[in-house]
Chain A
Amino acid sequence: MGLDVGSLVQDMLGAGKAVLNQDLPALRGFSEQQLEAIARQAILIAEGVADGSIDPATRDYFLKSLAEMTRSFVNTLAGLAAVTAEKLWNGIVGVLWGAINKATGLNLFPPAGGGGS
């Protein structure tokens, strides 16, 4: 059985799409939740200053922490993106492995990344 390039490309696209369909909504949801929390924090700091519970030294601490919240959020987002890139890459490679194994009738190195057909 030979390799059908057209269907192989479609299978690879399908593997990538499956990963993205699962991961992109999760990344979007996390980002929206974090941005809302960061915006809320700015409001809470202002409320604390207004009600007298946050003194100047504590206000400075919270403002520095607000910047750190934003940077740590972006740092986390980069980490999540790396995981998605791994799943995307291995999913596509898995399809290739599956197609080769199917075409040759061999199963020398089953794909570890999944997605093989």
Chain B
Amino acid sequence: MPTLVRRGGLLALCVALCAALSACMVQLAPAYDTTIVGGLNSANQDIHALFAQIGTATTPDTFSARKPQYDQIVAELGATETQIRTRPMPSSAAIKKAAAALARMHVAGVAVDPNFTVYPSARAVADLKDTIQHMEAADEKTGLRGGLLAAFQNQAETFLTQAMTYENYLKR
């Protein structure tokens, strides 16, 4: 009888522990989404195709030939940003705590960042879209060359890398 009691108690303890542990399995970040990653990959290809076509310089008189490419990229990025922002977010606490930890490590900007978001890739995509739109305006107005063109390209690639890195990191 004591043996049965001990076995019963152990079983109850294990069931109770398993039930408690099930609550401990956490999801702190959103799910990996192939549609979002596909959208980013398409935008990536189109952005690199645009820079390849631009080459080392453009003039305003040829802008109309590139206008459809700008429109395509902006539309892709807008759609992808919306998909990211409407994806279910399991927890916003974890990323805020991570940001607080980075702030304590004195990593620049977090503590005073008014635009901090629990959707980091949406932020990067919005920044990328803004970059492409500013680049389009400059292309139409003055053309692109030298440091202006290189700065737009580096800025676009940096925001693109941020978004793609985060979205691919969600594959776990």
Q: What is the interface of chain A, defined by CB distance below 8 A to chain B?
A: 26, 30, 33-34, 37-38, 40-41, 44-54, 58, 61-62, 65, 67-83, 85-87, 89-90, 93, 96-97, 100, 103-104, 106, 108-109, 111-113
Q: CB distance A113 to B14 under 8 Å? A: no
Could you give 24 example pairs across A and B, Cβ below 8 Å?
A: A34-B162, A37-B157, A37-B161, A48-B146, A48-B150, A53-B144, A53-B147, A65-B155, A68-B115, A69-B127, A71-B108, A71-B109, A74-B108, A74-B110, A75-B120, A76-B162, A78-B110, A78-B120, A79-B95, A80-B166, A82-B29, A86-B28, A109-B18, A111-B25
Closest to B29 in A: A83
B172 within 8 A of A: yes
User: How distant is B116 from chain A, measured CB to nearest CB, in Å?
Assistant: 6
Closest to A89 in B: B26
B21 within 8 A of A: yes
B75 within 8 A of A: no
Closest to A54 in B: B148
Q: CB distance A72 to B107 under 8 Å? A: no
Considering the chains assembled together, what is the distance between the CA atoms of A101 and B68 in angstroms? 59
Assign chain B's interface to a size class.
35 or more
- Contacting residues of chain B (123-149) with chain A, CB-CB under 8 angstroms: 123-124, 127, 130-131, 134, 138, 144-149
- Complex contacts, A104 vs chain B, CB 8 Å: 10-11, 14
Q: How many A-B residue pairs have CB under 8 A?
A: 177
- Complex contacts, B95 vs chain A, CB 8 Å: 78-79, 81-82
- Complex contacts, A26 vs chain B, CB 8 Å: 169
The binding surface of chain B is classed by DSSP as helix
**Contacts known (A48-B148, A93-B25); A41 close to B158, Cβ less than 8 A:** yes
B65 within 8 A of A: no
Closest to B144 in A: A53
Closest to B92 in A: A82
Closest to A83 in B: B29
- Give 7 closest A-B pairs by Cβ, nearest first: A48-B147, A53-B148, A47-B147, A79-B120, A86-B28, A81-B98, A53-B146
Closest to A94 in B: B25
Q: CB distance A70 to B146 under 8 Å? A: no
Q: Which of A30, A40, A50, A82 has the most chain B CB within a 10 Å cutoff? A: A82
**Contacts known (A74-B107, A74-B108, A86-B28); A97 close to B99, Cβ less than 8 A:** no
